[in-house]
Chain A
């Protein structure tokens, strides 16, 4: 959906056509939910966060200036709503304690991953992402999956582009470290691959 199309549905929603908003929900619900679940790490809570994001967006829609993309504006609401949820829970994440000094065997890890069936591989990757800190998971998802620029991510998170760059660098290493440790022979045994 282009920016023009988004704007068309936004205008119709502001004019009182709630059905026009359902088009925007259908378009962005997967990404908003993905961002939420990667941050809050719980399906039910992520569902609630994603729904609240759209409710908040609907309320604030008349104030949407169109300076940024609608998706960026929406992810910003979702990101901050997820942070609010996390503040309530005071959750700690495993990946915060990971040693970032040296990660070996990326190529080997890649080989092992490719030898695993797609469905299982996806499950391993998803479990690994779940172990990342919320900010790391959010930044990686927005940058690599949604292919947003550093500027857009900094707009969403309310930090500078340089901070995002550093965070991306660390998040990549953390994800790789987690995957390497997950794909160690002992772990693979539990997946029936050892």
Chain B
């Protein structure tokens, strides 16, 4: 008798609970969870300090410098006959500021060195610009 009662109650409860069915979360539930996850994981990501100019570029740059040195030493090329002289950058040193010649003579090597340094700075600036453009994308 007691068993029958229990069985009836069991069947009744099963029917009731099944009929109640699922409760529906909001329609964008999955998107909200994913957005929260994205926010959380980006917060948790450790800050990585990567060099702006990758090591591969430095290797190329080093190899090129070595190649130029090797070429100058092995081929025994005089400065006047080299391609650097052909660029006539040394004319910059004899530039007359305010119509007066400079008091001291600027060595050719100093002029060429300054030009190369200026080029390097310009390259760095363009690389920095590219880096910041990538980091701060406008939406």
CB-based contact B37/A31 at 8 Å: no
* Stretch of A2-10, A51-59, A76-84 that contacts chain B: A51-59
The verdict on B12 contacting chain A, using a C-beta distance below 8 Å, is yes
Let me know if B32 is at the binding interface, CB within 8 A: yes
Query: In the bound complex, how far is the Cα of B122 from the Cα of A38, in angstroms?
Result: 66
Tell me the count of chain B residues lying within 8 A, CB to CB, of chain A.
29
Known contacts being A18-B37, A55-B37, is A33 close to B23, with CB within 8 Å?
yes
Interface readout for A30-61 with B: 1 if CB under 8 Å, 0 if not?
A: 11011001100000001100110011001000
A177 and B18 CA atoms in complex are apart in Å by 18
Interchain nearest-CB distance for B133 vs A (Å): 26
- For chain A, which range describes its interface: under 10, 10 to 19, 20 to 34, or 35 or more residues? 35 or more
Which residues of A are in contact with B by a Cβ distance under 8 Å? 18, 21-22, 25-26, 29-31, 33-34, 37-38, 46-47, 50-51, 54-55, 58, 103, 106-107, 109-110, 121-122, 125-126, 129, 140-141, 144-145, 169, 171-173, 175-176, 179
**In the bound complex, do residue B20 and residue A50 qualify as a contact, i.e. CB atoms below 8 Å apart?**
no
Give the CA-CA distance A54 to B29 in the complex, in Å.
11
